[in-house]
Amino acid sequence: MNRRVPDVPRQGIIARYRDWLPVPPGAEPLTLGEGDTPLIRADRLLQELPPDRRPPAVFLKFEGANPTGSFKDRGMTIALTCARARGARAVICASTGNTAAAAAAYAARAGMDCWLVLPAGGVAAGKVGQAVACGARILPVRGSFDDALAAVRQVVAERPELVLVNSLNPDRLEGQKTAAFEVADQLAALGLDEPAAVFLPVGNGGNITAYHMGFSAYAAAGRLRRMPRLYGVQAEGAAPLVRGQPVDRPQTVASAIRIGRPVYGERALAAVRETGGRVLAVRDDEILAAQRLLARREGVFAEPASAASVAGLLKLAQGDEPGWEVPKGPVVCVLTGHGLKDVDTALRAARAGQGGPAPADLAALEAEALEPDAIVRHLLSVPVGGRSG
């Protein structure tokens, strides 16, 4: 019997898109197999939109499937590949968590030192745990991410042997633009129309800028007929682009986008403006409701910042904000990180009634343990088919 052996996926974005990337000639890719993340059709999410305001389809670009659980791996493979090719031995960054986890992992693989400056008390435990496990050196700072980044930039200016791997490093955005390539390629492989609109969470503004770079490159090469509208979604308590001014003390449950002075703010606004999209803000309760909806209706567990993209789609499509033109092609919501990055927030939200009854933590769950025979009696009597989500 002849059996077709499928191509082995996930060789990394450099192997797949090297001709589109500024990787030095002969440089060996430093990869963990990032990219090639799922584009998940979300038909149950689509049903949440008013019938007369629904696009043909909604998809979730689940970047939580990257090796360290977030989209940051795309930029880090390029940044560390190029840094190693240039002889670097140490990297440094400020982070709200995901950049730290990715930098620590790729630096470990490269055999480089890694220094991380994190806002004290402002980073989810899962992300700190990843960085610690990979051997990074962590320095908590009293202040916000913006304070952490200012300190790191000052250090790098005086110690050029430390390679900055925040999104200020242009290699980062070059890697992140490959997600836009994938969205276009995956929809084409499904025989579907090009993306009409893409919703992204916005913190520092680098990722929406990178998507704009990627779609622009494909359009220039004739691989896209039109640019999708880009929608940048910020948390209401950390929305400098929506407010039109910096936020000195940003506050939101979505820690990954808790940034008040986005480095790529102007480029993010240009990406939105040039594609006919817009920026908007969503409340924390809307973010948590979207996170719950994704998990309950689509089986996709994304961290709160990721759910901001879905909250933005729901807000516009349900008419809560002006400026929604029903797209004639597929809509893509980018989910930037896995829910396992920030389990504590999901448990707290559930306990507070955002997502139904649930223990406040794992210890509380174990305190409710039953004897095996009690479990059997319960499961033999409980009705099925009453799921509310």
pLDDT of residue 365: 65
Q: Which helix (H) or strand (E) holds 329?
A: none
Tell me the angle at which helices 178-189 and 206-220 cross, rounded to the nearest 10 degrees.
50
Which tokens go with 307?
């759910």
Asked whether the predicted pLDDT for residue 276 surpasses 50, the reply is yes
Indicate the average pLDDT of the chain. 92
The pLDDT score that the predictor gives to residue 362 is 65
Per-residue pLDDT averaged across 224-246, rounded? Answer: 97
Q: Are 206 and 196 in contact (CB under 8 A)?
A: no
The answer to whether 209 and 267 have CB atoms below 8 angstroms apart is yes
pLDDT digits (tens, 9 = 90+) for 82-118: 999 999 999 999 998 899 999 999 999 999 999 999 9
Q: Is the pLDDT of residue 364 over 90?
A: no
Residue 355 has a pLDDT of 45
Q: How far is CA 218 from the centre of its chain?
A: 22
Q: Which residues contact residue 155 at a Cβ distance below 8 angstroms, ignoring those fewer than 6 apart?
A: 92, 162
Q: Residue 215 — pLDDT band, cuts 50, 70, 90?
A: very high
Does residue 213 contact residue 351 with C-beta atoms inside 8 Å?
A: no
The amino acid present at 384, given as its one-letter code, is V
Amino acid making up residue 93: C
> Out of 33-47, 201-215, 221-235, 355-369, which region has the weakest mean confidence (pLDDT)?
355-369
* Residue 10, pLDDT score: 74
- Is it the case that residue 366 has pLDDT exceeding 80? no
Q: Binning pLDDT at 50, 70 and 90, where does residue 262 land?
A: very high
More confident residue, 199 or 372: 199
Question: Residue 199 belongs to what H/E stretch?
Answer: strand 197-201
Average pLDDT over residues 336-349: 88
What percent of the chain stands above pLDDT 70?
93
> What pLDDT is stored for residue 358 in this prediction?
55
Tokens 């969470």 label which residue? Answer: 201
348 has pLDDT over 60: yes
Length of the chain: 389
pLDDT in tens, 127-159: 999 999 999 999 999 998 889 999 999 999 999
Please report which confidence band the pLDDT of residue 385 belongs to, taking 50, 70 and 90 as the band edges: confident
36-47 mean pLDDT: 97
What is the Cα gyration radius of the chain? 21
Torsion, CA 171, CA 204, CA 116, CA 172, rounded to 10: -10
d(CA 328, CA 339): 31
- Beta-strand runs (E) in 7-95: 39-41, 58-62, 90-94
| 58-62, strands of its sheet edge to edge | 39-41, 58-62, 331-335, 197-201, 229-235, 278-282
